[in-house]
């Protein structure tokens, strides 16, 4: 895979790093790039943010593509991405409607739109089968993409994945002004986001000030609230369990033993429904193994790829 073609059309993306203290956070924020992605969704190209590391020293190896969770960004992979990039070219993308990727004001955000945008990104910058890694909501996005475009996915990795059960129906009722209140007056509040962050970890000390900044940097992106409202009104990712048998590629499930966000009940049913799958439990870990136990998580992924 040659990176020169991509670098010609990409530009560094300015992310404020003043509030960050962890070296991995600062390094990843400084590595964010932006590329215009033309899609059938709208006439103008969508400015799409991503990170790519490990390409030059790992040419010829299968690329890894990372998909973040709900209301998150590529910064979610600040600890995992460098570990994987020591062995493979690794990409992380801000999904349509999330992170720092442009949110066109007239574009409805849905799982179908996310899938289309992601495929156009893959067609432009990757063009070869990848190891697709999805965390939480990103797992549902990865499943949805792998079913629709199996030739683009060589192997699949799901980290504490959503998608087995349907999401809460409340999202369908989020309309103005309730939708505005739920986002701007609730989800934007640092205290609310901190409580969610603490619940995501087995060890709540991981919900540090640096973690707070990483989780909030994208909140000032234009149309942040409007995109979340649009996505939740669309229904988000509904249950994919009836489609799991369509996954034709080898699949690894990585699950924190103490997940308090999605729980642990879906892990084994996921494995039973997906034909070529294996399950790895991460001890002393909550909903985000890639942040809380990145060494164990990267080891499991790299062994699976090998």
Cβ atoms 282, 255 nearer than 8 A: yes
Percent of the chain with pLDDT over 90: 82
pLDDT at 299 over 70: yes
Q: What is the per-residue pLDDT for 173?
A: 52
Rounded CA separation 305/233 (Å): 37
In the three-class reduction of DSSP (H, G, I as helix; E, B as strand; rest coil), residue 141 is classed as helix
Q: Report whether pLDDT(167) > 70.
A: no
- Quick one: pLDDT at residue 2? 38
List of residues 6+ apart from 147 with CB closer than 8 A? 240, 243, 246, 247
Q: Judge whether residue 1 has pLDDT over 90.
A: no
Over residues 249-278, mean pLDDT: 97
The answer to whether residue 13 scores a pLDDT higher than 80 is no
Average pLDDT over residues 222-236: 92
- pLDDT number for residue 7: 42
Could you tell me which of 84, 102, 148 has the C-alpha nearest to residue 122?
148
> Which domains, and CATH codes, for the chain?
4-305 (3.40.50.1820)
Phi-psi region of 127 (alpha: psi -120 to 50; beta: other; left: phi over 0): left
- Percent pLDDT > 70 in the chain is 92
Residue range 105-135, pLDDT digits in tens: 999 999 999 999 999 999 999 999 999 999 9
**pLDDT surpasses 50 at 55:** yes
Which pLDDT score is estimated for 50? 98
Does the structure show a pLDDT above 60 at 43? yes
More confident residue, 170 or 63: 63
Q: Across the chain, what does the average pLDDT equal?
A: 91
Respond yes or no on whether the N-terminal peptide bond of residue 151 is cis (omega within 30° of 0). no
Task: Write down the pLDDT at residue 240.
Answer: 95
Distance CA 121, CA 93 (A): 9
Considering only CA atoms, which of 172, 181, 162, 159 is closest in space to residue 262? 162
Cα end-to-end distance, the chain, whole Å: 19
* CA distances in angstroms from 301 to 83, 150, 182, 234, 280, listed in the order given: 10, 19, 36, 32, 10
Per-residue pLDDT, 168: 53
pLDDT in tens, 179-200: 777 788 788 899 999 999 999 9
pLDDT of residue 172: 53
The whole-number pLDDT of residue 170 equals 46
pLDDT computed for residue 176 by the predictor: 58
Q: What angle do CA 289, 66, 197 make, to 5 degrees?
A: 40
pLDDT confidence band for 258 (50 / 70 / 90): very high
Instruction: Convert the pLDDT of each residue in 86-100 to its tens digit.
Output: 999 999 999 999 999
Q: What local confidence, expressed as pLDDT, does residue 6 receive? A: 39
- pTM for the complete prediction? 0.93
């Amino acid at each position: 895979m040659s990176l020169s073609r991509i670098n010609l059309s990409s530009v560094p993306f300015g992310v404020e790093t003043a509030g960050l203290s962890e070296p991995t956070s600062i390094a990843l924020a400084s590595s964010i790039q932006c590329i215009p992605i033309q899609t059938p969704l709208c006439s103008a190209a969508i400015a799409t943010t991503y990170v790519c590391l490990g390409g030059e020293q790992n040419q010829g190896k299968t690329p890894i593509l990372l998909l973040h969770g709900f209301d998150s960004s590529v910064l979610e992979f600040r600890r995992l991405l460098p570990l994987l990039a020591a062995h493979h070219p690794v990409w992380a993308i801000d999904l349509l409607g999330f992170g720092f990727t442009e949110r066109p004001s007239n574009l409805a955000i849905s799982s179908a739109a996310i899938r289309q945008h992601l495929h156009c990104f893959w067609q432009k910058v990757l063009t070869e089968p990848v190891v697709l890694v999805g965390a939480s909501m990103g797992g549902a996005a990865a499943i949805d993409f792998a079913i629709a475009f199996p030739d683009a996915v060589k192997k699949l990795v799901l980290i504490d994945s959503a998608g087995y059960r349907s999401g809460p129906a409340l999202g369908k009722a989020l309309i103005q002004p309730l939708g505005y209140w739920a986002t701007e007056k609730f989800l934007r509040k640092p205290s609310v986001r901190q409580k969610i962050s603490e619940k995501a970890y087995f060890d709540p000390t991981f919900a540090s000030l640096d973690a707070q900044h990483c989780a909030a940097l994208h909140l000032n992106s234009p149309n942040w609230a409007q995109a979340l409202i649009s996505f939740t009104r669309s229904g988000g990712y509904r249950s994919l369990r009836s489609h799991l048998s369509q996954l034709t590629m080898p699949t690894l499930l990585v699950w924190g033993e103490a997940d308090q966000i999605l729980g642990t009940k879906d892990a084994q049913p996921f494995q039973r429904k997906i034909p070529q799958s294996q399950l790895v439990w991460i001890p002393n870990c909550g909903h985000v193994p890639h942040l809380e136990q990145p060494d164990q998580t990267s080891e499991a992924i790299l062994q699976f790829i090998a």
